[in-house]
């Protein structure tokens, strides 16, 4: 049996990097849309939230496989929950809603939350690209982070999961406010001034 070339073994890694970069570009686009204002969609809100959570937990799982102690899972989950509660409260005042003439509900705001998530994701991806490389798909105990790479992985995981919690809290607030507007418990007017 012949051995696979190093390039062939690295192909899934490069495909993964391209997919993550495309997702990152989509996230940046979504950030700009939230800055300008976007139409509310519960399906889009749930799908994007699920993707943000999946990305955060995927990279966190890579850290545990590559040498980060699983004892850090508890502080990460607590940080995510605290961030979600804080973002829920924060976005109550920072997200503006309005109705268009067709009756659709639009909103904007909370862009700082997206920026924190993007920073955490880029930093986390950098750790994987620089220190783990194509072996990240082996999911074996062969690659162990040490020193700066280990501490960088822990720090970027915390930032990323903090961002995940912020996005979840924001999404919950936006969904609840949209529901209140549709039920008539909250009144909104036309588009706010730019």
Tell the residue number behind the tokens 């997702």, with chain if given: 23
Give the whole-angstrom CA distance, residue 168 versus residue 82: 11
**To the nearest 5 percent, what fractions of the chain are helix, strand and coil?**
75, 5, 20
What sign results for the dihedral spanned by CA atoms 125, 129, 132, 134? positive
Using left for φ > 0, alpha for ψ between -120 and 50, and beta otherwise, residue 142 falls in alpha
Cβ density class 85-100: b for 16+ within 10 Å, e for less: eebbebbeebbebbee
Give the whole-angstrom CA distance, residue 150 versus residue 153: 5
Please report the pLDDT score of residue 1 as a whole number. Answer: 46
Please report the pLDDT score of residue 82 as a whole number. Answer: 95
Please report the pLDDT score of residue 91 as a whole number. Answer: 86
Helices (H), 95-191: 111-127, 147-182
Q: What is the pLDDT along the chain (194 residues), one digit of tens a residue?
A: 455 565 555 666 677 778 778 878 888 888 888 888 888 889 988 998 898 888 888 888 877 777 778 888 888 889 999 999 999 998 887 888 888 888 788 888 888 888 888 888 888 877 776 666 655 555 555 567 677 777 887 888 888 899 999 999 999 999 998 888 888 888 776 656 55
Please report the pLDDT score of residue 30 as a whole number. Answer: 83
Please report the pLDDT score of residue 190 as a whole number. Answer: 64
Give the whole-angstrom CA distance, residue 88 versus residue 102: 28
Q: 99: part of which helix (H) or strand (E)? A: strand 96-99
Report yes or no: 148 and 57 within 8 Å, Cβ to Cβ: no
**What are the DSSP calls for 48-65, one per residue?**
HHHHHHHHHHHHHHHHHH
Give the whole-angstrom CA distance, residue 16 versus residue 12: 6
């Amino acid at each position: 049996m012949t051995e696979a070339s190093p390039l062939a073994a690295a192909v899934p890694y490069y495909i993964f990097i391209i997919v993550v970069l495309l997702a990152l570009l989509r996230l940046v686009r979504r950030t700009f849309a939230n800055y300008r204002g976007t139409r509310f969609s519960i399906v889009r809100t749930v799908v994007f939230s699920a993707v943000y959570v999946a990305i955060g937990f995927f990279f966190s799982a890579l850290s545990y496989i590559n040498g980060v102690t699983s004892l850090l899972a508890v502080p990460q989950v607590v940080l995510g929950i605290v961030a979600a509660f804080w973002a829920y409260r924060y976005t109550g005042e920072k997200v503006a809603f309005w109705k268009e003439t067709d009756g659709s509900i639009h909103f904007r705001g909370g862009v700082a939350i997206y920026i924190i998530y993007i920073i955490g994701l880029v930093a986390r991806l950098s750790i994987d690209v620089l220190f783990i490389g194509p072996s990240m798909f082996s999911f074996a105990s062969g690659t162990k982070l040490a020193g700066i790479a280990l501490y960088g992985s822990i720090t970027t995981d915390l930032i990323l999961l903090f961002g995940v919690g912020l996005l979840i809290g924001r999404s919950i607030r936006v969904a609840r406010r949209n529901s209140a507007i549709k039920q008539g418990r909250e009144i909104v007017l036309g588009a706010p001034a730019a």
